[in-house]
Every structure is written in C-alpha cells, then in structure tokens.
Amino acid sequence: MSKKQKKAEAEAFLDAVGKAMKAAAKEARRVAKMHGTKVWVMKDGKIVGLDP
C-alpha cells in the first residue's frame, strides 16, 4: 500500500469517526432531554452540566 493510499484511508477513517461522535452527542442530548437530565461536558477544564 502506498503512502497516498494510507493517507486517504486514514482521512476516511477520521471522517467516519467524526460523524459517529456527532451522532453519539446528538443521541445523548436527545435522551437527556427525554428524561429531563443534564448533559455533562468539560468546559474550560471543569465538568459542567448543561441543559440539552
């Protein structure tokens, strides 16, 4: 496998991972809203609960 092919494969993998992470975050917000809970995230080095 050439360097060009490896780079293209790595970029495709990173794109897929990015899409999966966005979908997971969207689902987490949906479930939190459905149950009336907060979404916990790290902001400025602190863990904070945000309303979905």
Quick check: 38 and 28 in contact, CB under 8 A?
no
Q: How many domains does the chain have?
A: 1
Q: For residue 23, what pLDDT is reported?
A: 98
Which stretches of the chain are assigned E, i.e. beta strand?
A: 39-43, 46-50
Q: How far apart are CA 17 and CA 30, in angstroms?
A: 20
DSSP string, the chain: --HHHHHHHHHHHHHHHHHHHHHHHHHHHHHHHHHT-PEEEEETTEEEEE--
Domain span including residue 39:
3-50
Condensed to tens digits (0 to 9), the pLDDT of residues 6-48 reads 999 999 999 999 999 999 999 999 999 999 999 999 999 999 9
